[in-house]
Amino acid sequence: MSFLSSGPMGLTVQMLSGRWFMAFASFLIMSAAGATYIFAIYSADIKSSLGYNQQTLNTLSFFKDLGANVGIHAGLLAEVTPTWLILAVGSATNLFGYLMVYLSITGRTPRPHVWQMCLYICVGANSQSFANTGALVTCVKNFPESRGIVLGLLKGFVGLSGAVFTQLYLAFYGGRDSKSLVLLIAWLPAAISAVFLRTIRIIPPNRLSNEFKVFCNFLYVSLALAAYLMVVIILQKKFAFTRAEYAGSAAVVLFLLFILPLAVVIREEISISKQNHPPKKIPLSPPTTTATILSNASSKNTNNFTLSRIVKIFKSPNRGEDYSILQALVSVDMFLLFVSTVFGVGGTLTAIDNMGQIGESLGYPAKSIATFVSLISIWNYTGRVASGFASEILLAKYKLPRPLMFAFVLLVSCLGHLLVAFGVPGSLYAASIIIGFCFGAAMPLILSIISELFGLKYYSTLYNFGGMASPVGSYILNVRVAGYLYDREAMKQNGHKLVPSSSGKSLTCIGVQCFKRSFLIITAVTLAGALVMLLLAWRTKDFYRGDIYARFREGLEGESKAEETKSSVEKEKLDEKECLKGNDSIQTSQRNVF
């Protein structure tokens, strides 16, 4: 039906039920799913209002990272429930977790125990895994031929979410009440997920010739949003904005985040409605669920295990083939990747989570700390987009192993850690850019390496296992190193023993020495992580020199040949049937003649 005959109402129904609007809704959900990146803005209020020391605050930060990165339960739930339920659970956990944090730090509830605060923030941060499972995975299934572009865009919007939240926070509260920021991140992501519960769903994909062009338009919008946020952050640093100017800046952000992408959707739906012949649908093979895997496993031969079969279980296949979960977990390659991620990404997470206290100790004003968080958010987005495209180009053109690129990213992040350690005046702005970019660049590289080395059959489980390395590194470097050394230095400055977190008092450390030793240690272990990744690059150099995607193309060619063979066999059978029918008719005619 054309646009003229369907009318505005028909176009509206088509748009709301189409997959482009579903993609737009996914962008909005993911742009509100990065509240964990702005912990540095309101962490000082948690510390002062509840009387925590730095080690206790960093323990809280660890549970935040744990909740954000452990999503295996969300994936298993998605196997047996509809998408809207996944989003509803994520919305509920986000609202409950952060609302309880807000009520605790504002004194509206009795002062909670430390373990209760850890539980609250872990539950709130865990909503991010439900958003990833509900929106991101569904969007990839709806655009199977553009999955790389979809992942890059959605992860990019998550990276920008910290800067978006900061602009809304400055517009609503003027940067003076960070406790209210916690209330904002409690209700806003929950409301967005609730609005689009029925929009995010599996839609049979259509083969569109301009699909890449439409995604490029979304990319241009996101780049414009990132560029604007960068400019406005610099202006807010140089000039004192009024509440009206903050509101105007937030309005531009909402225009770039909501109106322009929606205009892309409307234009595309008008173009589709004008087509006389709708594009041909591509049948999707049914997804492999946990129940299917268990059913297949139960149908296999259940004879007693022999020594040879046990050896076969632990013997790894060739790189690039489908590893079992056990084979991947006990492999040397996974061990090297996990160790490198623990210390490399764990160091950047420590810097991001402590940016508020780092800025405070070096004498930066509160407005500058919000600037650091925004810079980290924007360059986190830039790092994700840049590493995704650049690593693909370097791999295709020069056969450069992705582990080598990951090692380079870790080496660059050491520069940011050293800037924090020595506290050079004004250098924290550059450190925020470097650390944010390296943290973002590491994510696509880690996920790509796992998929390339261990195959895609059990990728969802191995992906979540790889994600667990970040909170492990955060606990070691953030809680046991940075938090402990900060409190020890604060104890020296205040001239008394370390106070317990339940005493209602907090210690504040001022000066370069507060984080100097911590970030020198972080620099050393990050350098060690880069060396470990260089070892993995050396082990996999022959694999990356070959055509790592050949088996997928061979599979497609085999399927194509099988289809051709099937078609030819069916044609021969049809010709044979026609021939037999012809012979029968001839014989019948002959009988009639005689």
User: What's the pLDDT tens digit per position in 503-515?
Assistant: 445 678 899 999 9
Q: Which residues contact 579 (CB under 8 A, 6 or more apart)?
A: none
Q: Which two tokens stand for residue 57?
A: 């605050």
Residue 333, pLDDT > 70, answer: yes
Residue 453: which H helix or E strand, with range? helix 428-454
Report how far Cα 435 is from the mean position of its chain's Cα atoms: 17
What's at 469, amino acid-wise? A
> In which band, very low, low, confident or very high, does the pLDDT at 328 lie, cut at 50, 70 and 90?
confident
Residue 521, pLDDT > 90, answer: yes
Closest CA to 47 of 344, 483, 570: 483
Using a pLDDT cut of 90, give the percent of the chain over it: 25
| Distance separating alpha carbons of residues 24 and 261, to the nearest angstrom | 7
- 440-471 pLDDT tens trace: 888 878 877 887 788 766 666 777 677 778 87
At 188 the pLDDT is 92
Instruction: Classify residue 553 as exposed, middle or buried by CB count within 10 Å of its CB (0-12, 13-18, 19+).
Output: exposed
Answer with the residue of higher pLDDT: 467 or 29.
Answer: 29
Residue 104, pLDDT > 80, answer: yes
Answer with the residue of higher pLDDT: 182 or 294.
Answer: 182
Phi, psi of 543 (to 5 degrees): -65, -45
Residue 549, pLDDT > 70, answer: no
Answer with the residue of higher pLDDT: 26 or 230.
Answer: 26
Find the range with the poorest average confidence among 6-15, 76-85, 245-254.
6-15
Residue 296, pLDDT > 80, answer: no
Closest CA to 358 of 458, 429, 305: 429
| SS3 per-residue string spanning 289-305 | CHHHHHHHHHCCCCCCC
Highest mean pLDDT, choosing among 75-84, 163-172, 332-341: 332-341
Q: Which two tokens stand for residue 106?
A: 């504002």
Q: How many residues does the chain have?
A: 594
| Distance separating alpha carbons of residues 365 and 163, to the nearest angstrom | 18
Is-contact 349 470, C-beta < 8 A? yes
| Distance separating alpha carbons of residues 92 and 111, to the nearest angstrom | 23
Q: What is the mean pLDDT of the chain?
A: 79
| Distance separating alpha carbons of residues 226 and 214, to the nearest angstrom | 19
HSE (CB half, 13 Å, CA atoms) of 237? 17
Q: Which two tokens stand for residue 509?
A: 């450390």
What mean pLDDT do residues 33-58 have?
A: 83
What radius of gyration do the chain's Cα atoms show?
A: 28
Is-contact 103 187, C-beta < 8 A? no
At 581 the pLDDT is 56
At 91 the pLDDT is 94
At 314 the pLDDT is 56
Is-contact 224 256, C-beta < 8 A? yes
What's at 288, amino acid-wise? T
- 126-147 pLDDT tens trace: 998 888 877 877 777 777 666 6
Is-contact 211 146, C-beta < 8 A? yes
At 298 the pLDDT is 44
> In which band, very low, low, confident or very high, does the pLDDT at 24 lie, cut at 50, 70 and 90?
very high
Closest CA to 463 of 565, 560, 373, 337: 337
At 363 the pLDDT is 87
What mean pLDDT do residues 46-56 have?
A: 85
Q: Which two tokens stand for residue 307?
A: 């020594």
| Distance separating alpha carbons of residues 509 and 381, to the nearest angstrom | 31
| Distance separating alpha carbons of residues 576 and 177, to the nearest angstrom | 82
- 557-579 pLDDT tens trace: 554 454 455 555 555 555 555 54
- 346-378 pLDDT tens trace: 899 899 888 888 988 888 887 777 777 777 877
> In which band, very low, low, confident or very high, does the pLDDT at 580 lie, cut at 50, 70 and 90?
low
The per-residue b/e assignment along 97-134, b for 16 or more CB within 10 angstroms, e otherwise, is bbbbbbbbbeeeeeebebeebbbbbbbbbbbbbbbbbb
Angle at Cα 529 formed by Cα 527 and Cα 531, nearest 5°?
75
3-state SS, residue 79: helix
3-state SS, residue 353: helix
At 146 the pLDDT is 65
At 285 the pLDDT is 39
At 336 the pLDDT is 94
> In which band, very low, low, confident or very high, does the pLDDT at 175 lie, cut at 50, 70 and 90?
low
Is-contact 125 35, C-beta < 8 A? yes
- Tokens 């022959």 locate to 542
Residue 156: which H helix or E strand, with range? helix 147-173
At 570 the pLDDT is 55
At 119 the pLDDT is 95
Is-contact 202 17, C-beta < 8 A? no
Answer with the residue of higher pLDDT: 110 or 555.
Answer: 110
- 75-95 pLDDT tens trace: 777 767 888 998 999 999 999
- List domains and CATH numbers for the chain: 14-274 (1.20.1250), 316-551 (1.20.1250.20)
- 379-412 pLDDT tens trace: 888 888 777 777 777 887 888 898 999 999 999 9
At 467 the pLDDT is 74
> In which band, very low, low, confident or very high, does the pLDDT at 290 lie, cut at 50, 70 and 90?
very low
What mean pLDDT do residues 150-178 have?
A: 80
| Distance separating alpha carbons of residues 156 and 159, to the nearest angstrom | 5
| Distance separating alpha carbons of residues 206 and 393, to the nearest angstrom | 28
281 DSSP β-pair partners: 206
End-to-end CA distance of the chain: 59
